[in-house]
Amino acid sequence: MRRREFIAGFGSAAAWPLAARAQQRQPAMPVVGLLTLGSARQNARYVAEFLQNLEKAGYVEGKNVVIEYRWGDGQLARLAELASDLVSRQAAVIVAVGAPSIRAAKVVSTTIPIVFSLVDNPVKAGFVASLNRPGGNMTGVTTSICCARSSPMR
């Protein structure tokens, strides 16, 4: 056996355990980013409901999903930085609560899905093209029926 063949064979044999370990590794858990202008204390009830609904869908924090919480603590200027941080963490989805958070998330990513809540009229705010076909990377729920005609209160 030649020296090169021996070294090549020895090198590939040494790599077998590494390849076996790599195949046994669990894939990284998806990261869900939660972005809000409020504080953790202000949003405790909302977060508890959010976690319950995720669990109903089969996602348990720390077991098969990582949740990265980003609290603005009432500081509007921090939201862009917090949203950018979620992008750098390669969040699989960003849940943006309230118009300021939604706006910040929309500015930093056109590819990561953004699910919004607590917004009155996402069409008027410019977050989505329409309620039926939001388009882009954004979808969510509104807090009122934004497109229905209402009569003025008398």
Cβ neighbours around 55 below 10 Å, total: 13
pLDDT at position 145 = 54
Q: What CATH number is given to the structural domain containing 84?
A: 3.40.50.2300
Mean pLDDT, the chain, as a whole number? 82
pLDDT tens readout for residues 33-91: 999 999 999 999 999 999 999 999 999 999 999 999 999 999 999 999 999 999 999 99
Residue 148: φ, ψ to 5°: -80, 145
Domain that holds residue 95: 31-140
The pLDDT of residue 11 is above 50: no
- Could you tell me what percent of the chain has a pLDDT over 90? 64
In a domain, residue 9? The reply is no
**Which neighbouring-strand residues pair with 35?**
70, 96
| 69: helix, strand or coil | strand
Instruction: Name the token pair of 101.
Output: 């958070």
At 10, the amino acid letter reads F
- Of the two residues 76 and 2, the one the predictor is more confident about is 76
The torsion angles phi and psi of 35, rounded to 5 degrees, stand at -120, 125
Domain assignment of residue 150, yes or no? no
Coil, strand or helix at 134? coil
- Is there a domain that residue 52 lies in? yes
Q: How many residues does the chain have?
A: 154
Q: What's residue 133's pLDDT?
A: 87
